[in-house]
Amino acid sequence: MSYHALFTLVFFVAFMAMTFWVYRPSRKQDYEKLAHIALDAERQRKGDDQ
């Protein structure tokens, strides 16, 4: 097996591992919290203006 094929295989396995780590079900709650940060900051800013 050539080095190019080996590097391709290593990077593909690393990509798949990172993809599974990011999309695992236990991370959903963390991502939902992060998704609301900008909205909460906007609501606080609007509340301060009034």
Q: What is the pTM of this model?
A: 0.58
Please write the tens of the pLDDT for every residue from 6-34.
999 999 999 999 999 999 999 899 988 98
- Residue 19 belongs to some domain of the structure: no
- Residue 29 belongs to some domain of the structure: yes
Q: Which residue has the higher pLDDT, 50 or 34?
A: 34
Q: Which residue has the higher pLDDT, 4 or 41?
A: 4
- State yes or no: pLDDT of 42 exceeds 80: no
- Residue 17 belongs to some domain of the structure: no
Domain ranges, residue 47:
25-50
- Residue 11 belongs to some domain of the structure: no
Count of domains forming the chain: 1
- Residue 48 belongs to some domain of the structure: yes
According to DSSP, residue 36 is labeled T
- Residue 7 belongs to some domain of the structure: no
- Residue 50 belongs to some domain of the structure: yes
Can you say whether the dihedral through the CA atoms of 21, 23, 24, 27 is positive or negative? positive
pLDDT of residue 39: 82
- Residue 34 belongs to some domain of the structure: yes
Length of the chain: 50
